[in-house]
Structure 1
Amino acid sequence: MRAFVLQGLSASTAPDIFYVDSFWTKDVVDTGKMQALDDLISASSVLKKADLLTNLVETFTLNGKLYAISKDFNSLIWFQNIDQFNQAGVDLLTSDDDFNDVLTKLSAVAGKTGKPTVLNPDGARFLPLAFSAGMPLLTEDAKGKKAPFGSTEAKLAAEFYTAPFTQQFQGRKFPKKFGMTSSDVQTGWPGEAFYKEKASCVIEGGWLVPPIRDNNPTENFSSVFPPLASNTGQRGNFLFTVGYGMPSFGPNQALAFKVIEAITSPEAQAFILEAGLALPSRKALLNNPILSTPKDTFQRADKVDFLAAGLPGSVPFRFDPVGGGYLDTINAGLTKIFNGEANVSDAMDAAAAELDKKLVDLGLRKA
């Protein structure tokens, strides 16, 4: 999709409306051929910025201008198998737990039931924890600054994320390993491990709800916000979203915007929510019965996911100005820790050095 949109904008052949992923928003805006939507929204009686979740508006706002309307979104939440916690006699995770609380509970569940926390060396799951611990997000205004992965805050979060594998966190020693990767439990991704009840806990988004409903509708589970960092008491999260954008050329702009108004209308978004397809970007949908008075565990998970996106510390899933190389670098560092090839400090220092090289190559800092 990214290549298709970029090619269409470059050749002035882009369709009247197209998807814009938060991950590559800057790439398409930098072509200079994206239509800023601010004036169209100001003139609209159907769609206003205030109608949308603030964090989603900010996701598609660059240089003070809004370039896409979020169609739906997801954020990260922690799913837990209630029966496995009950079997172990361990209190469920809560949204008030910090890093230490979570590790104590997950270690105990695995020790008594044999059901691990299933995690992969995935920066998309790890980085919000690092942000919550105080690691700065490298943004366009970070020119000249060093890569943050070697910071004390980043290393604290990496200790927490990898503790189920390394069995240690901030001087604490855990009696045995209580984490496994999705491949360790013969599944394709952590969500599959969860709905097959091979995992006591996973970090996923609302996208896990339909697979549970389809594959294991009687699974007894709940979900909570990501934990509070043990050093700051703060929380972090990513917003995963796709929006509708328009080119700055073409004869159908007015009609195209009317279509965007229609497909992001309260009625259209209510249909998406009630069909279980995704979470709506309009604030008013919080008053829909599915979110205001959820009747089952699936709807309760949707509500937790919806609310998590609006909490302080939620940031768009994008890595300007480095792009995907930012994620690749931290994934490589986490993999070394998971595999026992390096300790947390050395792996994070190496990831910082690698990212520094990328910053030099991009002209964002001197060697």
Structure 2
Amino acid sequence: MNVVTRSAGIFLLAMAAIALPGCRPASQPSGQIITLRLSGWQSNPNEKQRLDYLLRKFEKTHPTIQVKYETINSEYMDVIKTRLIGDVAPDVFYLDGFEAPLLMQYQVLEPLDRYITPEFNLADFEPSLLNAFRYRNQLYGLPKDFSTLALIYNKQALAAAGITHPPKTWAAFTVAARKLTVDRNGDGKIDQYGFGIAPELARQTFMIKAFGGQLVDQNGFATFAAPNSLRGLELIVNQYRRDRTAAQPTDVGATWGSEMLGQGKAAMVIEGPWSIPYFKETFPALEFGTAEVPAINGKPGTMAYTVAYVMNRKTRHKEAAWKLIAYLTGKEGMKAWADQGLALPARRSVLGELGYDKNTLYAPFVAGARYATIWQAGKHLPTIRMNFNNQFISALLGEQPLSDAMQRAQDTANREISWAN
């Protein structure tokens, strides 16, 4: 058993040990001020400013509740898990859908169903986002926002290549990538690649499913080495190795796909809505457009990522914690949070009020919510992700065939899952 698996096993045992009846809510004498602790992370400086603004508004309308917000940007979930084990976790905290199954299973979160009233209008949320935080018919989190992936392209590059509109199928996408791959000096060095890829499982799961493959089976074991799963991944590997029309960010001195596009080193990328404010701030001269991810095997596909507010089951201020969650995920709070365009609001009504579904840049991301694969696959997804990423990059670099790499990754992941179980 390796170090990662041992650590996971220790955490699972600790979670099982603290899955005991929760603390009785503390009674609050009339007029007494209580302090709630809220933890999250910050991916953009504007996020903290906006959240601080919302928390001050909440405090004005709830004068007996103060909120102390803590930003945890390094090893966020490790910190949260450690604090849960030590019984010093915050009252309310962010939870990524990717990590939710583990915490829901071990009952360290407060179920929210009994707090939700008809006026809260739970039906306003995108159902797939809510389902990411359900376990055994109980709801443990309310999504604050979500992101999908869409095709983002350099308009001038497409026009120069004689491409009049973004490709709608993967076959057309492959052809477009060839036209957009340019060696301007004729020295054998590619100056612009057609496609900038992100070779990680969080971006490739919908490719695995394109031909009927699955990431995991019903028992949570990895199945991505099956022939149907490999067919979608082969499309990416072939563009990178055989056609030489795709590049990773590290190949061209960039840190991520949208930086490649902004620098002119890739003409097309598949990225999230966070790229739109990034381009406007960092590459204001870039003329870019967005479109839905090209259909594969005749089917639309993309990824969706969501984060919820959840309540620590052992908080002594449950009613106050619910009031905070309800405000932040209600129409007013969500509208104020989501108007920057870094992510999309989880409420359909707010999406409409902010006009994201009518905005030409954001509409493809909104459309993708209907058919997106949620980035979630049980409590062992971190183990599966680590093994997939290591071996997929190896196959991409030609160090081993894709089928061998994926079989090796799957076998290793499933051994570690068996040990953890």
TM-score (norm. length: structure 1): 0.85
3-state SS of paired residue (2:378)? coil
Question: What is the CA deviation profile of residues 116-143 of structure 1, one whole-angstrom value per residue up to 9, with x for unaligned ones?
Answer: 111242122222111122112315x326
The offset of 1:112, in angstroms, is 7.5
**Counterparts in 2 of 1:91 and 1:125: CA distance versus 1, 3 Å:** farther
1:6 partner letter:
K
C-alpha separation between the residues in 1 aligned to 2:144 and 2:82? 23
Question: What is the CA deviation profile of residues 87-133 of structure 1, one whole-angstrom value per residue up to 9, with x for unaligned ones?
Answer: 01124324x31x22211111121157752111242122222111122
1:319 partner letter:
A
Count of residue correspondences: 339
Q: Which residue of 2 aligns with 1:246?
A: 311
Question: What is the CA deviation profile of residues 203-255 of structure 1, one whole-angstrom value per residue up to 9, with x for unaligned ones?
Answer: 2111111210101123111122222222xx22333221211111223332112
Give the share of equivalent positions with the same residue, in percent: 22
C-alpha separation between the residues in 1 aligned to 2:202 and 2:365? 16
The offset of 1:262, in angstroms, is 1.1
Q: Which residue of 1 aligns with 2:141?
A: 68
- Following superposition of structure 1 onto structure 2, how do residues 79-94 of structure 1 map, counting pairs within 5 Å? 79-94=152-167
Q: Which residue of 2 aligns with 1:301?
A: 361
2:223 to 145, 148, 157: 148
Q: Which residue of 1 aligns with 2:377?
A: 319
- Residues 336, 347 of structure 1: 8 Å contact kept: yes
C-alpha separation between the residues in 1 aligned to 2:337 and 2:152? 22
C-alpha separation between the residues in 2 aligned to 1:158 and 1:108? 22
Q: Which residue of 1 aligns with 2:50?
A: none
- Residues 55, 315 of structure 1: 8 Å contact kept: no
CA RMSD, Structure 1 to Structure 2 (Å) = 2.1
C-alpha separation between the residues in 1 aligned to 2:408 and 2:315? 48
3-state SS of paired residue (2:156)? helix
Question: What is the CA deviation profile of residues 173-202 of structure 1, one whole-angstrom value per residue up to 9, with x for unaligned ones?
Answer: x4xx11111122111111211122221011
TM-score (norm. length: structure 2): 0.75
3-state SS of paired residue (1:263)? helix
Structure 1 window deviating more from structure 2 (77-86 vs 328-337): it is: 328-337
C-alpha separation between the residues in 2 aligned to 1:196 and 1:67? 42
* Unaligned residue ranges in structure 2 (runs of 5+): 1-75, 185-190
- Residues 99, 379 of structure 2: 8 Å contact kept: no
The offset of 1:292, in angstroms, is 4.1
- Residues 161, 179 of structure 2: 8 Å contact kept: yes
3-state SS of paired residue (1:206)? coil
Q: Which residue of 1 aligns with 2:411?
A: 353
Structure 1 window deviating more from structure 2 (338-347 vs 5-14): it is: 5-14
Q: Which has the higher contact order (CA 8 A, sep 6+)?
A: 1
Q: Which residue of 2 aligns with 1:186?
A: 253
C-alpha separation between the residues in 1 aligned to 2:252 and 2:415? 36
- Residues 79, 221 of structure 1: 8 Å contact kept: yes
**Counterparts in 2 of 1:341 and 1:259: CA distance versus 1, 3 Å:** same
C-alpha separation between the residues in 2 aligned to 1:198 and 1:290? 32
C-alpha separation between the residues in 1 aligned to 2:208 and 2:164? 25
- Residues 162, 337 of structure 1: 8 Å contact kept: yes
Q: Which residue of 2 aligns with 1:171?
A: none
* Unaligned residue ranges in structure 1 (runs of 5+): 168-173, 295-299
Q: Which residue of 2 aligns with 1:235?
A: 300
C-alpha separation between the residues in 2 aligned to 1:261 and 1:105? 46
Indicate the structure (1 or 2) with the bigger Cα radius of gyration: 2
The offset of 1:44, in angstroms, is 5.1
Q: Which residue of 2 aligns with 1:337?
A: 395
3-state SS of paired residue (2:95)? strand
- Residues 201, 389 of structure 2: 8 Å contact kept: yes
The offset of 1:339, in angstroms, is 1.1
3-state SS of paired residue (1:353)? helix
3-state SS of paired residue (1:268)? helix
**Counterparts in 2 of 1:49 and 1:289: CA distance versus 1, 3 Å:** closer
The offset of 1:257, in angstroms, is 1.0
1:104 aligns with 2:175: yes
